[in-house]
Amino acid sequence: MRRALLELVALLATANFTALSGQVSPEPTISGEHIALVGGTVINPADGKITRNATVFIVNGRITDIAANMVMKFGGRSINCVGKFILPGYIDTHVHFFQSADLFTRPDGADFNSVRPYKDEVAWIKSHLDDVFARYIRSGITSVVDVGGPMWNFEVRKTANATAKAPRVAVAGPLISSVSREKLDLGDPPIVKIDTPHQAREFVRKLAEQKPDLVKSWYIVDKDHPVDAFRPIARATIEESHAHKIRVAVHATELETARAAVEEGADVLVHSVIDKPVDDAFVKLLKDRHIILCPTLVVFERYGRT
């Protein structure tokens, strides 16, 4: 109820916008405690409809109806939304709270420790989480998915989901990886190299104790780490995660690693394939398996520019 009201009053989002998928009702029936957002322009991405001077009714934190006119009198709290827009909150499906997006946040890729020590960068990130949460809300983003980071990710989720001015947060823990990234290890590494299927299962069981929303696998390949070498570990990771009823997200940016990940049972691909055009068989595989794909194309472009 707390977050739903915050989002609605901010006119950025709602906790539930399913009522928009139906027909706009000119005379809604309201019962119980309710709030009305009066006079705003409702934008429904589901069907592309725009309803001006609408009234949105909320009962117990959920949208129950939308009227195609301004309803001025009813028993409840009215919020004047004339001149404003009402639309669902955006969902950012690929974030990392342990990364600040500045030049000092990934010393494994570009090491600027001589300018700003990585430990100072991480300390700054932790001390500014409230501001990060608030920025999401101000941008209309009301839910985010952190697809992998240190074990303190779970504290971020706990804090965010108990904070009024914050998005809903889902998290994965440390990435189960085919390669190591020692420069990111400050005692609570965001990326953990796993060498055997047994290690993978043990690590998934450790993660499961924190009740992650996802388990993340970092399927990195190069001349020393071919596709097939990590596949048994990917399989064990996915099998163990599914045994704990946890979905698995995979970083796999080559066509064959992405194909292998999906064939082994991955639920989410957190990037697009970038090494070659995808083939029809791959597209069909994703469609048949109902795979969620987060393209992150703009991120790749910005990395290149930086």
Q: What is the pLDDT along the chain (306 residues), one digit of tens a residue?
A: 444 434 443 443 333 333 333 333 344 444 457 899 999 999 988 889 999 999 999 998 888 889 988 887 777 889 999 999 999 999 999 999 999 988 999 999 899 999 999 999 999 999 999 999 999 999 999 999 999 999 999 999 999 999 999 999 999 999 999 999 999 999 999 999 999 999 999 999 999 999 999 999 999 999 889 999 999 999 999 999 999 999 999 999 999 999 999 999 999 999 999 999 999 999 999 999 999 999 998 777 776 676
Alpha-carbon gap, residue 137 to 234, rounded angstroms: 35
Residue 26: per-residue pLDDT: 40
Q: Which residues contact 48 (CB under 8 A, 6 or more apart)?
A: none
Alpha-carbon gap, residue 92 to 294, rounded angstroms: 10
Which domains, ranges and CATH numbers included, belong to the chain? 2-86 (2.30.40), 90-305 (3.20.20.140)
Q: Which helix (H) or strand (E) holds 16?
A: none
Helices (H) then strands (E): counts for the chain: 9, 14
Residue 28: per-residue pLDDT: 41
